[in-house]
Structure 1
Amino acid sequence: MSEPTSSPAPEAAGSDEPRSLRIEDWLTVIIMALLALITFGNVLVRYFTDASFAWTEEISIFLMILLAMVAGSAAVARDQHIRIEFLTSRGTAARKKALARLGSASVALLFGLLVVLSARVVWDDWRYEETSPGIGVPQWWYSIWLPICSLAITARAIGLFIRQGKPGALESEIIEPAETTGKEQP
């Protein structure tokens, strides 16, 4: 009697994935839950009272931007960011690895620059005492998260760049990804 083959455990399948991604995963869940609760509460209030919470739109927009940044950090760490497959899936393994590392370095550079520039925006918001247009809270309460999340994405991109530089790190994933074949790698 032959033994049934089982798929690898989730930890084994994503052994190259940082364990600290739980932070981004939980933040994503919390932000999505907050968005759903705020929107549902506003719908109930509008339905029963013909009025609306004025603050829900401003908070929802902020949460959607924060969600995109947190999910972007997780996508970079998991190497699931957008790329042009036509270019990255052709050529030798060394070329694929070089393009993957170039992509990671570019992401790190872009978001590193965004950290610096958005920190200046936060400083201006604080210095000039800007307030939000909807509910009048200090604008820096919202803008402070852009450099923080950009710093997280920069750190994730640098970590990915380092992991991609390890010998044999990308060859099996770039040549034949396990997700596309549906079979266990030998």
Structure 2
Amino acid sequence: MSSKSPAGTDQNAVPEAPAPAQEEPRSLRIEDWLTVIVMAALALITFANVLVRYFTNSSFAWTEEISVFLMIVLALVAGSAAVGRDRHIRIEFFCEAGSAARRRRLAQLGALMVALLFALIAVLSIRTLYDDFRFEETSPGIGVPQWWYTMWLPILSVAISMRAIGLFIRRTRQPDAEYLKDGTAEGPANARDKQP
């Protein structure tokens, strides 16, 4: 006769151990700190603009332009961190089904496709950067050279592409048996759900 708790669960059952954390590059601290800095800058700029608008009935002309630029940088930096941590969007029905070898191959394919996409974005945005520089385009809000903003798209796209290549290399070196043990074996979402 097993002892049951009032809720009807077995008290002698051993809780499942949480899935080990995925291997994560230490250099992701760069993206983490850039995210903090950009978010702080956005908050300060917006707060300063609200104060000026409240007390003077006018606003800083440059805040919207800088805020839009910082939000784009924030999205790309966060995208780089997501790729480095293997947290990019995927369809779990396909990626979490099948053998460990199949899962690993799909993870490798996903990493390669992300690397290819952002390498292509980097190449195409270099052309835009060159055009902005060559034609001396200026920003609409404050009139600074447009290439000051445009140059960050190829830089951050290359960073995301490099993170994806790093993820591909980590997945290639990881044996199938280890792939079953890490958080991706049952899917990050499922592994988190099973933790007490």
Normalised to the residue count of structure 2, the TM-score between the two structures is 0.84
Residue in structure 2 matching 1:175, options 156, 161, 185 = 185
The structural deviation recorded for 1:24 is 0.2
Give the aligned partner of residue 4 of structure 1: none
1:102-141, aligned counterparts within 5 Å? Answer: 102-141=109-148
Alpha carbons 1:31, 1:67 under 8 Å: kept: yes
**Secondary structure in structure 1 of the residue aligned to 2:184:** helix
Amino acid across the alignment from 2:141: G
Bigger mean CA deviation after superposition, 111-120 or 160-169: 160-169
Give the aligned partner of residue 24 of structure 2: 17
Amino acid across the alignment from 2:118: F
Give the paired residue count. 174
Amino acid across the alignment from 2:44: L
Give the aligned partner of residue 46 of structure 1: 53
1:71-110, aligned counterparts within 5 Å? Answer: 71-110=78-117
Alpha carbons 1:122, 1:143 under 8 Å: kept: yes
Amino acid across the alignment from 2:185: I
CA offsets 1:112-160 (integer angstroms, 9 cap, x no match):
1111111111111101100011111000000000000000000000000
Give the aligned partner of residue 8 of structure 2: none
Bigger radius of gyration among the two: 2
Alpha carbons 1:105, 1:157 under 8 Å: kept: yes
The structural deviation recorded for 1:174 is 2.5
- Tell me, in whole angstroms, the C-alpha distance in 1 between the residues paired with 2:106 and 2:112: 10
Amino acid across the alignment from 1:175: A
Amino acid across the alignment from 1:161: F
The structural deviation recorded for 1:171 is 2.4
Between the aligned residues of both structures, percent identity stands at 67
CA offsets 1:88-108 (integer angstroms, 9 cap, x no match):
111111111111111000000
- Tell me, in whole angstroms, the C-alpha distance in 2 between the residues paired with 1:128 and 1:170: 51
Alpha carbons 1:93, 1:174 under 8 Å: kept: no
The structural deviation recorded for 1:67 is 0.1
Greater RCO between the two (CA within 8 Å, min separation 6)? 2
Give the aligned partner of residue 30 of structure 1: 37
After TM superposition, what 4+ stretches of structure 1 lie above 3 angstroms from structure 2? Answer: none
